[in-house]
Amino acid sequence: MTPESPLQELPIPAPPPREPAWTFVDVLLILVVAFISLLATGALAIAASHAVPQLQGFNNEQIATNPLFFIPVQLVAYLITFAFTRILITVRAQQDFWSAVKWNFPAATDAMNYIFLGVAMAFLAQLAGHFLPIPKSLPVEKYFREPAFAYLLMVFGVLVAPLVEEILFRGLIFPLAARALGVIGGTLLTALLFSLIHQSQLAHAWAPLLVIFGVGLVLTTVRARTNSLAASWIVHFSYNGTLFAVLFYLTNGFQHLERLAE
């Protein structure tokens, strides 16, 4: 009589990986690193500026509000933060950073559609400004004092800011918000946070913030529907690029920046 073989234990399937792999605490840590990097880089740059003869007559506030100073400082801080973010997300997700944040670059025909969407959104935002009580003077306009400042702000606003903001809001925050609140709730929360981060540039006025909220809704909806961070970045890139192109045209190549006050 053959002894009965013991029942073999079936392996317990591993739980599916969490999507996304990071948490709100990780995002908060990234923001802390960004803040510390900005403070440290700014402090070092201020200290170094005192050794420059051309800056001897300026106080720290005048130096810190000069785009030729704060744009490079922000860029260095962003690079430090991105290096930290890439390492953290790669470790958390156990895959390449760009795959983890769903970069997923679209096909050429789709990319052209996203470019057109960004251009259309820029003109719609300008049109909305004619029907909403937009303040005549916004804090961000004080940086457009000289053509060199305007060119530097344009390069930063087109090539750097859209990528940084898309990685933070649509790459890192939106997946967490969608997991916690659902796609619609996550889209609304991400758009709200996106608008609030611009409030100091827009005098905390509700009308321009409402426009930016609408822009955030479109960008986050594109990210949600396409599962592509690159798609929302293309829309954001073309949106900012169009705004600066219009500004370039209206000021005759940044030669008549006084028109901004008209």
Neighbours of 136 (CB within 10 A): 9
Q: Report yes or no on 48 lying in a domain.
A: yes
Do residues 76 and 26 both lie within one domain?
Answer: yes
User: Which residue intervals of 3-103 are DSSP H helices?
Assistant: 24-49, 60-64, 67-93, 97-100
* The model's pTM: 0.90
Neighbours of 63 (CB within 10 A): 18
Do residues 138 and 221 both lie within one domain?
Answer: yes
| DSSP codes, 93-131 | HTS-HHHHTT--PPPHHHHHHHHHHHHHHHHHHHHHHTT
10-residue stretch averages of pLDDT, the chain, 262 residues long: 56 70 97 97 87 70 82 95 98 96 96 98 92 82 87 95 97 97 98 93 85 97 97 98 95 85 66
d(CA 68, CA 75) in angstroms, rounded, equals 11
**Structural domain boundaries enclosing 261:** 101-262
Do residues 229 and 160 both lie within one domain?
Answer: yes
Q: Which two tokens stand for residue 43?
A: 């402090």
Q: What is the largest CA-CA distance in the chain?
A: 102
Give the residue from 246, 241, 233 showing the smallest Cα distance to 101.
233
Look at residue 6 in the predicted model and tell me its pLDDT.
55
Do residues 91 and 149 both lie within one domain?
Answer: no
User: What's the number of domains the chain is made of?
Assistant: 2
Helical pair 24-49 and 67-93, crossing angle rounded to 10 deg: 150
Do residues 222 and 106 both lie within one domain?
Answer: yes
Look at residue 13 in the predicted model and tell me its pLDDT.
62
Look at residue 15 in the predicted model and tell me its pLDDT.
59
Number of H helices, E strands in the chain: 10, 0
